[in-house]
Chain A
Amino acid sequence: MNFRTVLATVGGIVPASMIAVVVFLTTYAWPAIEYNGVGFLGGMHWNLGNLYADPIDLSGVQILPGASYGIFFLIVGTLLTTLIALLIAVPVGVGAAIFLAEAVPPGPRVWLSFLVELLAAIPSVVFGLWGYAAIVPLMAQHVFPAMAHALGWLPGFGEPIGSGFGLLTSGIVLSLMIVPLIAATLRDAIDSQPAAVREAAQALGATRFETVWRVLLPGLRSVLIGACVLATGRALGETMAVLMVSGNALNTLPQTIYAPVSTMAAFIASQLDSALQDPTGLAVRSLAEVALVLCIISIIVNVCARLLLAGFGARERRGL
């Protein structure tokens, strides 16, 4: 075996395992995919059926009476929590990156940056526990009533304010988890811009903020998009933290921003043991189908980001 073959094998393990995961999920979930059909994505009702009744035969498939699997509320919950997390994390992350790169003197810069990066090292279950113990009561008792009072005229921001477990709380906890990804990556990129560009901008009379905002950042579009995609991927798949603060809604869409939701990742984690109670095995396979849908959504997000980056790259080459 020569060096090239060994390198190819080891290097090939990564894409091969990704393909293997998707193929495994598809084959394992195939009976559920066949049974559920397209209605799976649009169906509003996740129902394991009557666990204590005898399975019936529906055109060759053994199912429990009343079983039907629809995950529309999960898709909505996942996308909404990720959207809220990004809406909070991107401005905060970009602001933090600019602040760390430009406004902080070199002394404190090192340990402040270290603290921001350390936020990414905190395990998600710790975020979940902190969210459960500290954020949820804070939201329920102080923040949500104030928001409903001030913003109640906006659709989706009014009463009822619920118990603190819900969409906005999950979005806030998620945003804290993805801010370091954006801030650290962008700060490194701003730092690594050549001094000549900075000096040229300042020679033309730009203020410090204008230098960053109009000259440095536009050149870092691709880095920002890359960081946001990473952040989106993390937010889409986040399980434990969301499980503990989202309220675990079943079969309902959130009517207000304070209402409980359920995300796909948290749902799989919390429903696996219940699904194992199904003697026909269809419930576990449907959960595998949920995992497959999550996988596909992540892939789509990444592909879109790649296309965006390619688009920007083409514009840069054309000199725009």
Chain B
Amino acid sequence: MGSWRTARWSKFAVSGALALGLAGAHGAAAAESGRLLETGSSLLYPLFNIWVPVYTKSHAAVQISTQSTGSGTGISESVSGLAQIGASDAYLSNALEKQHPEMLNIPLAISSQMVNYNLPGLNAQHLKLSGPVLAGIYEGKITKWNDPAIAKLNPAVNLPADTIVPVHRTDGSGDTFIFSQYLSDTAPDWAKTIAYGTTISWPSVQGGLGAEGNQGMVNSVKQTPYSIAYIGISFKGATDQDQLGEAMLENRAGKFVLPTDQTVQAAANSMVAKTPKDERISLIFAPGADSYPIINYEYAIIKSKQADVQTAQDLKTFLDWALRGTGGNAASFMQQVSFVPLPASVRKLSNAQIAKING
């Protein structure tokens, strides 16, 4: 009897240990050699989707899965180790960086953001909007499209008397981060009361809508007349196809500009020299007569200490490829999503950070 009991318990012990071992191995399953998980920014997602098939053609041993979940999720999953690449339009805050000093913020490209609206009959015209006007709209202080503040910027346009429906992101969003930075830089009362972040406390506006992801923003504006939203430039194809209006935003020099390669490049040129070694810098509201005010680095948030050597190596090879002018930063990729490739000085800084990744 005694030996039978011992045999039974030892069988339990062995199977228990096996189960624990499997569970432990599964915890690092995403980091199995040859598998990388990218999650996060919906603004960077279209670029990753055109990168991955081309990359895997020449590097068949690596499988990269992509997800569009929002920059907030990109940051949190990279910090927790669930994803190897956290795509984010927002760099880590000082407090998060202090809590997790092993996190790297590596720019992969320069992107920008549009402000789109749906005004029946007026979508072909580019309305002129400024930061203070947008802040007023999202605070609920400017409620009608024919408000004097908007009419002053657009004297030749027959603005309707309808109520504005501001749409914001409900998920932790890098687009919210850069849009709220623009509002903070241009409207002092916004900076004082709301400030900026991947999630902010949106003032309650009657009829205001929330949407998930850039695609959700596009759908909301398309379905809702008299709405306005901030949408990443990589969705320009979708907004053009749905014939949504695109606003000209007021830059630091007081001129109203659209996000084109030329205006984004002009803004980038005036700001890149100030990029620090850890590459956490806001490119919003850049000086220059031709500069577009809402541009940003597209970051890959990476943990410098990866689960194993193979994953670290796969990650470094992919990021090296992504940064090269012959690889991911080639004009053929950038043009499809309306991004601008990284300037050489920033590429050097990014490469220096990639060298810190180890397994």
- B-contact 0/1 string along A234-277, CB 8 Å cutoff: 00000000000001111110010001100000000011011011
Main secondary structure of the interface of A (DSSP, over half): loop
* Closest B residue by C-beta to A161: B207
Contact in complex: B95, A279 (CB < 8 Å): yes
- Let me know if A306 is at the binding interface, CB within 8 A: no
- What residues of chain B lie closer than 8 Å to A51, measured between beta carbons? 93, 197-200
A276 touches B72 (CB 8 A): yes
Number of B residues contacting the other chain (C-beta, 8 Å)? 38
Q: Which of B24-32, B145-153, B165-173, B326-334 contacts A (4 or more CB under 8 A)?
A: B165-173
Q: Is the CB of A46 within 8 A of B201?
A: yes
Contact indicator A277/B72 (Cβ below 8 Å) = yes
Stretch at the interface among A24-32, A52-60, A92-100, A115-123: A52-60
* Majority SS at the chain B contact face: loop
Select from chain A the residue with minimum beta-carbon distance to B90: A52
Cβ distance B283 to chain A, nearest Cβ, rounded Å: 15
Q: List A contacts of B203 (CB < 8 A).
A: 251
B201–A66 contact, CB under 8 A?
yes
| B58 touches A (CB below 8 Å) | no
Cβ–Cβ < 8 Å partners of B198 in chain A: 51, 274, 277
Contact pick for B210, options A55, A249, A279, CB 8 Å: A249
Cα separation A273 to B212 with both chains bound (whole Å):
12
Interface check A218, CB cutoff 8 A: no
Complex contact B224–A163 (CB within 8 A):
yes
Q: Which residue of B lies closest to A247 (CB)?
A: B209
B-side contacts of A165, CB under 8 Å: 209
Is there a chain B Cβ closer than 8 Å to A222's Cβ?
Answer: no
Give how many A residues have a beta carbon under 8 Å from the other chain's beta carbons.
Answer: 38
Pick the contact of A48: B76, B95, B201 (CB < 8 A): B201
In the complex, the answer to whether B223 meets A53 with C-beta atoms within 8 Å is no
Q: Are A160 and B171 in contact (CB under 8 A)?
A: no
Pair A279/B99 contact, Cβ less than 8 Å:
yes
CB distance from A126 to the nearest CB of B (A): 17
Q: Which of B199-245 contact A (CB under 8 A)?
A: 199-210, 212, 220, 223-224, 227
Q: How far is the CB of A105 from chain B (nearest CB, A)?
A: 44
Does A145 have its Cβ within 8 Å of any Cβ on chain B? no
**How many angstroms between the C-alpha atoms of A64 and B199 in the bound complex?**
13
B209/A270 in contact, CB under 8 A = no
The interface centre, meaning the residue of A52, A137, A160, A274 with most chain B CB atoms within 10 A of its CB, is A52
Set A251, A260, A276: member contacting B76, Cβ < 8 A: A276
Contact B201 A260 (CB under 8 A): no
Could you tell me if A273 and B93 are in contact, using CB atoms closer than 8 angstroms?
no
Contact for A250 among B99, B163, B210, CB less than 8 A: B210
- Given A249-B210, A250-B202, A251-B201, output 19 extra A-B contacts at Cβ < 8 Å: A51-B198, A52-B94, A53-B95, A163-B220, A163-B227, A247-B209, A248-B170, A252-B204, A260-B207, A271-B170, A273-B72, A273-B171, A276-B172, A277-B72, A277-B197, A279-B95, A279-B96, A279-B98, A280-B95
> A residues engaging B (CB < 8 A)?
45-55, 64, 66, 136-137, 140, 160, 162-165, 247-252, 255, 259-260, 270-271, 273-274, 276-277, 279-280
